[in-house]
Amino acid sequence: MAKISILGAGSWGTALSVLLSNNGHDVTLWTCFEEEASMLREKREHADKLPGVILSESIGITTDLRSCLLDPEICVMAVPSPFIRGTAHSMKEYVRPGQKIVCVAKGIEENTLLTLSEIIKEEIPQSVTAVLSGPSHAEEVGRGVPTTCVISAKERADAEYLQGIFMSPVFRVYTTPDMLGVELGGALKNVIALAAGTADGLGYGDNTKAALITRGIAEISRLGTRMGARQETFYGLSGIGDLIVTCASRHSRNRKAGFLLGKGYTMDEAMKEVKMVVEGVYSAKAAKQLSEKYEVEMPIVSEVCKVLFEGKAAKEAVSDLMLRDKKVEAPMLPW
Give the residue numbers marked as catalytic. 189
* Amino acid identity, position 58: S
First-to-final CA distance of the chain:
57
Give dist(CA 11, CA 216) in Å, integer.
Answer: 26
Which of 106, 45, 101, 46 is closest to 68 using CA atoms?
101
Query: What is the 8-class DSSP label of residue 63?
Result: -
Taking the CB of residue 181, how many other CB atoms lie within 10 A of it?
28
DSSP 288-330: HHHHHHTT---HHHHHHHHHHHS---HHHHHHHHHTSPP--S-
Cβ atoms 196, 258 nearer than 8 A: yes
DSSP state of 39: H
